[in-house]
């Protein structure tokens, strides 16, 4: 049984390192006493915990799977990385929903999702649900769009 480090394994390992680094950097930060309210790092730490757990599970699954080496698709990975950078840079200007939906649709399309229902449900529905959850239910403001100010 020969183990080959392929693209999936390398990306899984990079995601694990990134999530662990971001999680480690969230500790030791000081904030004002919020009087029993959650720290501003509460939700990001939960997300980062799940990120690290899923990246670890994906890494183990990729390591255990016996897959022949596949050709590298660095173009797709590079486009997704550039889209993630654009997401971070454009979110303060265009708002969470527009940038999240754009990133979701592009990423899903690049990963091979071609069914329009899946694209709309996940690519648009998930950012919309998160925007409504955080802004309306949890009353935690997200970056708002100058075009969709009511969201």
Provide the mean pLDDT of the chain. 80
**Rounded-to-integer distance, Cα 113 and Cα 104, Å:** 11
Please report which confidence band the pLDDT of residue 1 belongs to, taking 50, 70 and 90 as the band edges: very low
Q: Residue 99: is it exposed, middle or buried by C-beta count within 10 angstroms (0-12/13-18/19+)?
A: buried
Extract the tokens encoding 1: 């049984």
Long-range contacts of 79-85 (CB under 8 A, 24+ apart): 79/106, 79/110, 80/106, 80/107, 80/110, 83/107
**Tens-place pLDDT, residues 83-98:** 988 988 898 899 899 9
Q: What is the CA radius of gyration of the chain?
A: 18
**Tens-place pLDDT, residues 37-65:** 566 777 778 888 898 898 888 888 877 77
pTM, full prediction: 0.64
């Amino acid at each position: 049984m020969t183990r080959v480090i392929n693209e999936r394994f390398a990306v899984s390992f990079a995601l694990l390192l990134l999530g662990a680094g971001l999680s480690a950097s969230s500790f030791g930060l000081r904030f004002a006493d919020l009087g029993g309210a959650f720290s501003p790092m509460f939700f990001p730490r939960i997300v980062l915990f799940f990120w690290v757990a899923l990246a670890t599970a994906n890494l183990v699954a990729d390591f255990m799977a016996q897959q022949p080496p596949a050709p590298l698709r660095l173009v797709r990975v590079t486009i997704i990385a550039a889209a993630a950078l654009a997401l971070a840079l454009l979110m303060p200007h265009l708002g969470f929903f527009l940038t999240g939906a754009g990133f979701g649709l592009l990423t899903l399309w690049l990963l091979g999702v071609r069914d329009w229902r899946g694209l709309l449900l996940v690519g648009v529905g998930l950012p919309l649900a998160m925007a409504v959850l955080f802004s309306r239910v949890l009353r935690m403001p997200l970056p708002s769009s100058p075009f969709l100010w009511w969201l």
